[in-house]
Structure formats: C-alpha cells, structure tokens
Amino acid sequence: MSAQPVNPNLPPDHVTVFIDGVELAAPKGAMIIQVADKAGIPIPRFCYHEKLPIAANCRMCLVDTEIGGRPAPKPSPACATPVMDGMRVFTRNEKALKAQRNVMEFLLINHPLDCPICDQGGECELQDLSLGYGRSVSRFVERKRVVPDEDLGPLVATEMTRCIQCTRCVRFTAEIAGTYELGGMQRGENLQIGTYDGQPLMTELSGNVIDVCPVGALTNKVYRFKARPWELIARPSLGYHDALGSNLFHHVRRGELLRSVPRDNEAVNECWLSDRDRYAHEGLYAEDRATVPLIRDGDGFREASWDEALARVADILKAHAGDALGVLVHPATSNEEGALLARLAEGLGSGNLDHRIGQLDLSDGAHADAFGMPVAEIEHADAIVIVGSNIRHEVPLLHQRIRKAVKRGAKVHVVNPVDFDFTFAITGKHIVPPSRIAATLAQLEIGEAARSAVIVGAVAENGPYAAAIRKAAAEFAAAKNAKLCRIPQGANALGLSRQGVLPRGLDAQAMLRAPRQAYLLYGIEPGLDFADQPAALKALGAARVVALSHFACASTRAVAEVILPIGLLPEIDATLTNLDGLEQQAVAAARLPGQARPGWKVLRALGGLLALKGFEFTDLDGLRAEMTARPVHVAGNGAAPAAEATAAHGLELAVSPAIYRVDAVIRRATALQLHPLNAGPHATLNPADASALGLMEGAMARFATAAGSATLPVKVDARVAQGCVWIESGHGATAPLLASARLEVAAV
C-alpha cells in the first residue's frame, strides 16, 4: 500500500475509506461501524452500542475488508476494526452475508422459540435481524439450554434463557452507572449474565438495561404483558421530578399511560433515563387522585359541579384579596400555569406569591438561576466542587455526567455533611456539619483548572444555612474563575422564577410564619411538600384554603375548603425550563382522570369570573403568545430561618431529599416505593455520637426540636459528620423535624 494518502486534500487526522463502493472521509481510529452509521449504511449488530465500550463479542457485524488490493483472510468485526486509508469494506457481498448468517444461526441455537409470548415481541432487535439473516428451518435439533432467572428487584424483569450474552447490560452498569452489578459467570456454553449474589439492582439508572438489551432477557416489570408496541402511541414529554428535564416519550394506549422511555437529546439526558422518571407514571393512577371538584360540607366533602366550585373559589379570593391572601405554588408547575398564577395574584392585589416552598432560608432573596456551565459541558470540566448535595439521588443523570468527567481526568472535591455514595473517585473530601460548609468552602483549594464548576445542591439550598452557603459558593466561584451551578429546587423552579412566581410581598416562609386569612395552594401536597411542616399546617388550618390539586389526599382534605382537580404534566400541554435555562415543551399524553382539567384552563376560568386582566385568551397558543419572561428580583426578608440556628445545644440536622419521595407522584409510584433505595424514615448518626447517647443500630430514639418531635429507628454510620443527625425528607415521620437546625436526641 502506498504511503501517500488516497485523498491529499483531507485533514491530516482523516483517512479515505470505501464502504460498499461509497467513498467516505473518516477520522483516524474510527471503527468501520461508526463510519458506516454516519453514512447511513446499515450493518447488523447486537453487542455494539454507540454509548458503551466496544466488546466485539456477538460478531454479528462481520464484514469483508480489503487493504491495498489484498483481501483480509477472514471477515472482520466492524465494531472493532479501525478504518485505514484506502481500505475497502464490503457489508453485503457473499463473504460478508455468509458470515453474518452463520453468526445468526449460532445465536439462535439456544434462543427459545417464545416470540408469540415474549414481551419484547415487536421491538426486538434479534427478531428483526433474524428475519433478514436467519434460516427458515433450524439445523439444530439438540435440546436448548435453560438459564434460571434472577430477581433484580421491582423494576426489571428477567428471562435469562433469552440472553445472547451481548454484555450491553454489563457494560452499562460498569461504565455508565458505575455500579458494576452485572457480570458474566462461568465460561463457554455455560456463560450466564447475572449479579452473582442474587441481589436486586441498586443503581438509580437500572431501567436503562431494558433499553440496551437487544432481546427480551431484560424487560420492564411494571409494563410487562400490558400491551404490544403496535398498540401504543408515543407522545414527547419531559421528566418533571428533578430540574434536568430529561426528554422522554410516554407510550399510551387508549388514553392510559403504560410506560415511559428515553428520548434522545445529547444536551440534556443523552439517551438515558433515571428510574424516577421512567416509573413515575404509576403515580398518576393512585386511589386518591383528584377527579371531581369537591366542596367542604361539615366535616367531609361533597362533589360539586365546576361552575359551583369555581364560584365558591372566586368568592373566597375576592373576600380576601390584597395582603390577606397567600399564593403557594409547587416548583414543578409549568410556565403557562405559573404565568397565570402571577397574573391572578397581581389582579387580586396580593404580592404574597412564591414557589420556593421547600426552602427554609430565603433571607438573601435567592431564586433559581441557570447553570453557569451547561450540563453537556460539565463532562468536559477539569475540576468540579460539589457543595451540600447527594447529587446521585438529587439529579441522577447530572451525577452520570460528572462520572464521565472523572473518567476523562477531572478532579472532584466534595463539601458535605454526609459522605454520600458516588460512583467516581473523590480527590478532596470534606465532611463537616451544615453550619461549617460555608467556612470550609472558603478555605478549599482545588489547584489549577482551566474549566471548573461549583455545583450547589439541595442539602445546602434547603437548609437553615442556605444564604451563607450560597454567598460562599458565589465568592469561591468568582475567586477560582469557576462556573456557579446551583441546582434549582424543583423541576421548573427556574421557569417559575422567570414567569414572576416570586414575592413582591411576603415569601413562602414569611406568609406561613405570619399567617394569611386565605391561601391558594397550587399542586401542593400540604402534608409533605413544605420545608416548615408544622408552621404550614398550623397556618393553613386556621385559614380559608382553596386547593388546585392533583390529589385529594388526607392532608389536602384536612386544610382545604374547595379542591379543584387539575392535570399532571403527562396529561397536559406545557412548557418547563430546565437547569440550563432551556425551555422544553411536553405534549399531552394520558387522558385526564374524571372531570380533572388542565390547570391553565381552570385558572383562565377563574380569572374570567374575577374579571381580571390577562385572561382574555381562548387557547394555549394565545396564552403562550402573551407570555414574556419578567425581570427577576426578590428582596431578602433578612430574617434568620430559625432562632436556634446559632444555639450550641444538641446535634446539627442534615436533611437530604429521599430519592423516591421527592413529590406526590413519586410517592404514589408503587414499584419505586418497593425499591431498596426507598429505605423508609430513619435517622443516621456518627458512631461517636451514637455511643455518647447510648444508641445502637436499630434502636428507637426520640428526636425533639422546638417545633416538634419524631421517634425514628437509628442507623449508625461513620459517613455522617460527627455532631450531625442525617435524615431524609419526603416522609411523614421526619416532616416535624425539617425546619430545625439542631435537635435533641434521647433513647426511647
């Protein structure tokens, strides 16, 4: 072969390759299959996946190659053969097709003939390719092998007899999730894929093994046997349980949402989906879903018509307009609904409007802001500082991006009250009580880094020292020339901030500490969604409350006078703004339950009844045409969140969101509630503190604050900073403690 390039006009890092007679320019080192895919030339494959390391173990992608006029002695795997200048590749000649058909025959030797009952039927890669490359009659007459199934937990179902050992699932858990939970056991014909210890999958991204599996070996346990793919309609939507806004499709049959699958978007979630977004749809069909308007009648409720219920709500709001009214909004509410809520509050003369219901310290007037470094660029960062966040549970796919950065050589530093589990190496680890996070951050050294990011999460943002930590993070980022990335506390907290769902009067905490005469609750579960639960229930219990709600739960019924049923995101057309500041639209997928209506329609009707300006539009397009982002400025209230914050007695409290208890929908998703990561309410202490208090693992202890107390089982773990108690929010049992900075602990 000549040393001269075939095409001297190409850049020096490119070569010329001919695939099925088509001349292509390709980067040096690229694999044949990558070049062919880019050119739209099909090559069959099972083990190859563009996001996974190359394994080259299925051999389905065998092709014929020729270099310098000399044919290769045997077919080459296209996924593991780099292109060379002047190389000729034949994907469809007799030699290549014979090799591919022989591989297919071997793959089908032990595969069961259960396509009619296989839940993967209709979307199975093996089924599709066997049509083109398989024989009509098998020459194999011996008995097929059988592989016992494993119980991988409540999310992923197994039929391992179907497994063709492509190892996609193994490579996913190892390289993407970083948990190394699946592997190959035994050898040769006896090779099996499994967990070895028989334990359920613990990664928060486990559902992705369903997507990468090319056969029916790993399937969706929640969706299994409910429908065939040709019965489903795919509707583009968004994840709404963290601020990333993962792109996904909801698959619907006759209005019922049966499953959710990822929708590719390299800038947001790539091709992955967290389990929280994948299985949340179960929560839509909870028994306490609000389906009809309800009006309080004595100690209970009676069903009412929309006209009667709206009239009652309008009367309440008119009677308590101005400063007597407080409007509290869930931070996952859409931009359209948020814009109308801002107009409603303004029209009623109330500046008491806020969506920051889960944040204790609003003394600095902080609100959500877009990431200084886009999520897609974080994987290219040189240094990353994580402040006050269990980021693996808070935003699972942001954690995965950081893992990719570490694999590229990034250094990660952590300042946390708990040594949370990450799937990457930590360069600098500082485990300190919440009160010392700001001071520790001010003294942190990260060395020289061209591209660095500071990521501030929920433990910091929602705690009693949030303002000090935010200030320290901003100063640190400015001093180190780093990009500040504060995770918005709610799926659409950034969008709601831009739409003006922020106070011009009292903020969320102030309007609960100084109770209003009436409240409008939007999308909130009062018993679990507030940062200061005792104060919230006390204030709401003494006021007239109207609730536009997705669920008619016990806590809503306890405080509301009127409950208006509204649709959740999978049931409505809506726009959310993710943590990068990217506005993304979701399309209505599932049918609204009963008499429930899209929230924007309910607000439009309410604004019309009250004769307010800004409610003259007739459809969603009309509303969107009128929407503009408002200047965001919120004055801090200057008040410390808790008088006991500086007290020296007791242990400090560190609170992180429980991964599968973050909102009302997730809390009602049955499969997620059965997952081992949903550990239930408990309190975790450092061994030194537990010993000093005479507490042992599994003991029951009473945790008391000025606002309330709770009796919880104790766990002892050296990962918790000494002088701290770590609990998770989202549980009724821990709710009385969340607003406190410190608490007293005593054995029961």
Residues 92, 98, 102, 103, CA torsion sign: negative
Q: Does residue 2 register a pLDDT over 70?
A: no
Q: Does residue 3 register a pLDDT over 80?
A: no
Residues 664, 667, 671, 675, CA torsion sign: positive
What gap in Å lies between CA 19 and CA 35, rounded to an integer? 9
Homologous superfamily (CATH) for 375-486: Dimethylsulfoxide Reductase, domain 2 (3.40.228.10)
User: What is the mean pLDDT of the segment spanning 404-433?
Assistant: 97
Residue 1 is predicted with a pLDDT of 44
User: What is the mean pLDDT of the segment spanning 40-57?
Assistant: 96
Q: Does residue 21 register a pLDDT over 80?
A: yes
User: What is the mean pLDDT of the segment spanning 712-740?
Assistant: 96
Q: Does residue 642 register a pLDDT over 80?
A: no
For strand 411-416 and strand 428-431, is the pairing parallel, antiparallel, or unpaired?
parallel
Domain boundaries, the chain: 14-108, 125-285, 294-364+493-626, 375-486, 644-747
316-325, 383-392, 629-638: range with lowest mean pLDDT: 629-638
Q: Does residue 242 register a pLDDT over 70?
A: yes
Quick one: pLDDT band at residue 639, thresholds 50, 70, 90?
A: low
Averaged pLDDT score across all residues of the chain: 94
Looking up tokens 């009128």 gives 626
User: What is the mean pLDDT of the segment spanning 640-665?
Assistant: 79
Residue 130 is predicted with a pLDDT of 93
User: What is the mean pLDDT of the segment spanning 163-179?
Assistant: 96
Q: What is the dihedral of CA 448, 417, 390, 409, to 10 degrees?
A: 20
Q: How many CA atoms lie within 13 A of 273 on its CB side?
A: 26
Q: Determine the distance from the C-alpha atom of residue 98 to the mean position of all C-alpha atoms in its chain, rounded to a whole number.
A: 45
The CATH number corresponding to 644-747 among 2.40.40.20, 3.30.1490.190, 1.10.3470.10, 2.60.120.1440 equals: 2.40.40.20
Q: Does residue 646 register a pLDDT over 60?
A: no
Residue 579 is predicted with a pLDDT of 97
* Percent residues over pLDDT 70 in the chain: 98
What gap in Å lies between CA 477 and CA 371, rounded to an integer? 12
Residues 584, 585, 591, 594, CA torsion sign: positive
Q: At 545, which helix (H) or strand (E)?
A: strand 544-549
What gap in Å lies between CA 466 and CA 458, rounded to an integer? 9
Residue 106 tokens read as: 């071997």
What gap in Å lies between CA 418 and CA 657, rounded to an integer? 13
User: What is the mean pLDDT of the segment spanning 583-607?
Assistant: 97
Quick one: pLDDT band at residue 645, thresholds 50, 70, 90?
A: very low
Return the CATH architecture of domain 294-364+493-626.
3-Layer(aba) Sandwich (3.40)
User: What is the mean pLDDT of the segment spanning 209-223?
Assistant: 96
Start-end of H helices in 451-598: 458-461, 466-480, 493-498, 508-513, 533-541, 554-559
User: What is the mean pLDDT of the segment spanning 328-352?
Assistant: 97
Residue 572 tokens read as: 């409505």
Residue 644 is predicted with a pLDDT of 45
Quick one: pLDDT band at residue 190, thresholds 50, 70, 90?
A: confident
3-state helix, strand, coil in the chain (%, to 5): 30, 20, 50
Contact 554/583 with Cβ under 8 angstroms? Answer: no
Quick one: pLDDT band at residue 177, thresholds 50, 70, 90?
A: very high
Alpha-carbon separation of residue 198 from 164, 182, 340, 504 (angstroms): 20, 10, 51, 56
State pLDDT tens for residues 196-213. 888 999 999 999 999 999
Residue 641 is predicted with a pLDDT of 59
Residue 647 is predicted with a pLDDT of 47
Residue 55 tokens read as: 């394994």
Residue 350 is predicted with a pLDDT of 96
112-116, 242-246, 530-534: range with lowest mean pLDDT: 112-116
CB count within 10 Å of CB 248 equals 26
User: What is the mean pLDDT of the segment spanning 713-727?
Assistant: 97
Residues 6+ apart with CB under 8 A from 6: 15, 16, 85, 86
CATH of domain 125-285: 3.30.70.20
| Class for the domain spanning 14-108 | alpha beta
What gap in Å lies between CA 518 and CA 426, rounded to an integer? 49
Contact 331/355 with Cβ under 8 angstroms? Answer: yes
Closest CA to 295 of 565, 25, 532: 565
Residue 638 is predicted with a pLDDT of 65
Alpha-carbon separation of residue 92 from 35, 87, 106, 164, 346 (angstroms): 16, 16, 19, 24, 68
